[in-house]
Structure 1
């Protein structure tokens, strides 16, 4: 590089340094961080987000409807009864006339399908917040190949912060030993950027939303 070119470059640098950099625009802290949800109805917004991240959503208006939806799911996946450890879920399935596996005998060998409840559903991200506080513990939402969730419309909140507040209000000074946000089926693309489902948890997640009066 000639001295003339070098001096021209240095002159432009010196000139640029003499002009102060513009300050960034001051953010409006009164405005919400996130854009509005896709729907004014949080349940609709959750269903859209949940399906967008790879979940399967089933609306159930009654216990017979739940029975039909779950039986159809099992038939399509060619699976037997789900493993269910929570007494409240067991009672609902009994009332719906559905079979389930209640004990842990042969759990590791037979854990193809597990069903749990949840703490909350997040409309923004389509996430399911589960915890170790229920009888399902830490294992039933993680170990089976396919994870079923039975929830109610009243459990849908808009944001993750609200879901964490639900847990805080429910358990107070004795929080669960584990809380987890499940967003779609377990997946990874760490190896050669090839998407693999079920790498760290269930390969499929399906949510059955049962109306409140059932």
Structure 2
């Protein structure tokens, strides 16, 4: 098979007069054929790359203790230690009841604290619904977001996310389904992001696999 491939590549080089045809290397510098399928990027690596490229801030947490520690560091860094957090998730409020935060649904709160539906790897976006947002638009909520997610929520595409929402909620489908993918108000937006509401967003990703 390798011999046939070499003959084929030599034919192309003679035909087009280009010694570099097909000389593509992988991440280790090994030569691979131009017409061979590219190795698939792991879904977590793809998400982290796209998420950071969108301007998001990412912190990986191996366990809940590390999650609480990283959360406290975010509060200290931004001087949010004694502020209000908009949070409607009772479980999340209980996880951080050791802080000096006041949890409420005040739109004038310092930051929005929530979980999410899924993390979309091919765009680096965060998929949310009325289960997190209620009936509020993204533009209604505070500029600052802290999102708590788990590695099991990583999926490839938004289509896959919508399918999983259908399975998860069955006949009680949530409304207000939307994605957030602009996390830097100074970042140039492409056509797909036009008109979106940028958020200063921290993602705390908890390992659960």
TM-score (norm 1): 0.66
Unmatched tracts of structure 1, length 5 or more: 1-34, 194-198
Q: Which residue of 1 aligns with 2:134?
A: 137
Q: Is the 8 A contact 1:50 1:184 kept in 2?
A: no
Determine which of 86, 91, 109 is the counterpart of 1:88: 91
Deviation of residue 161 (structure 1)?
1.0
Determine which of 198, 203, 208 is the counterpart of 1:207: 203
TM-score (norm 2): 0.68
Aligned length: 165
Deviation of residue 200 (structure 1)?
5.9
Over the aligned positions, Cα root-mean-square deviation in angstroms equals 2.9
Instruction: Please give the per-residue CA displacement for 1:156-199, whole angstroms capped at 9, x wherever unaligned.
Output: 00111111111111122332121001113274899xx9xxxxx8
Structure number with bigger Rg? 1
Q: Which residue of 1 aligns with 2:173?
A: 175
Q: Is the 8 A contact 2:54 2:184 kept in 1?
A: no
Distance in 1 (alpha carbons) for counterparts of 2:60 and 2:131: 26
Q: Which residue of 2 aligns with 1:63?
A: 64
Find out whether 1:50 has 2:48 as its counterpart.
no
Instruction: Please give the per-residue CA displacement for 1:86-106, whole angstroms capped at 9, x wherever unaligned.
Output: 012123223xx33443223xx
Unmatched tracts of structure 2, length 5 or more: 1-36, 190-194
Q: Which residue of 2 aligns with 1:39?
A: 41
Q: Which residue of 2 aligns with 1:27?
A: none
